[in-house]
Amino acid sequence: MSEETGTVYTEAVIYSAAEAFAAEVPFQTAIVTLDSGGRVTGRILGERVSIDDRVSRVEIRDGVPFFKKVG
């Protein structure tokens, strides 16, 4: 898996989730503008992020990218 970094375009913290995610609340999702181009919706691990924060992709689970704040 190549290093993928980007910038948070927007984010939300979910408290009321669909059935499949109900056990995980609260969790944060974000749309990330990738340095390699394009945008992707992913999950945030660890510290909460805000718009313009720099993030790095730490893993992909079942096609979903998980990001962590860097710097």
Partner 1 sequence: MEAGEKCLANGHAAPSQVDAFFLGNFAGPSFAGQNHLAPYISTALGIHGVPATRVEAACASSGSAFYHAYTGVASGVYDIVLVVGAEKMTSQPTPKVTEILAGAGDCAGEVKAGSTFASLFAMIARRHMYQFGTTREHLAAVAVKNHANGALNPDAQMRKVITLQQAMAGKPIADPLNLYDCSLISDGAAAVLLAPVERAGEFTDKPVRVMGIAQASDFVALDQKPDITTFPAVRRASLKAYQMAGIGPADVQLAELHDCFTIAEIIALEDLGFVGRGEGGPYTAAGHTARTGERPINTSGGLKSKGHPVGATGAAQICDLVLQMRCEADARQVPRHSVGLAENLGGSGASCVVTILGTV
* Chain contacts with partner 1 (rule: CB under 8 A): 9-22, 24, 26-27, 29-31, 39-43, 51, 62-65
Cβ proximity of 35 and 6 under 8 Å: yes
The residue (of 30 and 55) whose beta carbon lies closer to partner 1 is 30
Instruction: Name residue 18's amino acid.
Output: A
Q: Smallest distance from the beta carbon of 53 to partner 1, in angstroms? A: 12
Q: Smallest distance from the beta carbon of 70 to partner 1, in angstroms? A: 19
Please name the residue that has the structure tokens 């962590």: 68
Please name the residue that has the structure tokens 């913290």: 13
Q: Smallest distance from the beta carbon of 16 to partner 1, in angstroms? A: 5
Please state, in angstroms and rounded to a whole number, the distance separating the CA atoms of residues 21 and 14: 10
